Amino acid sequence: MSTSVLVVQHADDCPPAWFGEWLLTAGCAVDVRRPYAGDTMPDDLTAHDALVVLGGPMGAYDDAQHPWLRDTKDLFREAAGTGVPALGICLGHQLCAVALGGHVVRNPHGQQIGLVPTGWLDAAAADPLVGSLVDVHRGVQWNDDIVDRLPEDAELLAETAAGEAQVVRFAPSVWGVQLHPEADERVLAPWAAEDTRRYDDDRIERGLAEVAAAHAELERAWRPLADSLVRLARAPR
């Protein structure tokens, strides 16, 4: 039987992109749900072997405006309780933090754009999901919000130079990454177009150009994250 991965997408311009391609190449059945477009959310994870929750323009507390966020948090809680491997990306990372008792705020240092150094901590080397990534020294970030308080028993695996959480193991089978391993310059282009009006300099254009120049490096460097998730999804529980 094929490994089934549930992917929750929050907006048209925030697709699975590379991550979805990597899962398909690994032989997974990728079940992408777009609740903003009318897709139903599953009641539980019994039909799936893993969960991936993507980024989006909304905030982690915007359940009233986007009711499926509440369902997504419930799925993270289920994954944490049952051992189903789960990964939150950017907004997904923040939703997981809130679901399990953490807290999210607007980053007081401002928006994070483009390539950001990855500050791996010692604990990352032995981690079953990201242990193969500790030689990856930079990744894409494009976010305003950050997790400023981790849930109890969560383990910080990577942080920025300013101490902001980049990679967290929220529960034995649940992780979040503030980075965007799925995104290349084509995914970022509409985000950049939207954000350009916020600044009177060329920081957005420079961030986009940095990512484009690192295209091959990023695709090669972050693919093992998907491979590790698939391996965990196929392991006995």
Q: What is the CATH number of the domain that holds 141?
A: 3.40.50.880
Range of the domain at 22: 4-234
Q: What pLDDT is stored for residue 237 in this prediction? A: 84
Per the listing, tokens 């009006």 go with 197
Beta-bridged to residue 32, according to DSSP, are 7
- Greatest alpha-carbon pair distance for the chain in Å reads 53
CB of 232 closer than 8 Å to CB of 129? yes
Distance, CA of 18 to CA of 67 (rounded, Å)? 27
- Which residues have a Cβ under 8 Å from the Cβ of 114 and sit 6 or more positions away? 140, 141, 142, 206, 207, 208, 210, 211
CB 140 within 8 A of CB 211: yes
- Successive 10-residue mean pLDDT values, the chain, 237 residues: 94 98 98 98 98 98 98 98 98 98 97 97 98 97 98 98 98 98 98 94 95 98 98 95
Give the pLDDT of residue 226. Answer: 98
Strands 29-33 and 4-8: parallel
Q: How many structural domains compose the chain?
A: 1
Interatomic CA distance for residues 79 and 57, integer angstroms: 24
pLDDT of the residue at 41: 98
Q: Is the dihedral of CA 219, 222, 228, 230 positive or negative?
A: negative
Q: How far apart are the first and last CA of the chain?
A: 16
Cβ-Cβ contacts under 8 Å for 110 (sequence gap 6 or more):
none
CA separation for the pair 221, 62 (Å, rounded): 33
DSSP character at residue 120: B
Instruction: Look at residue 1 in the predicted model and tell me its pLDDT.
Output: 67
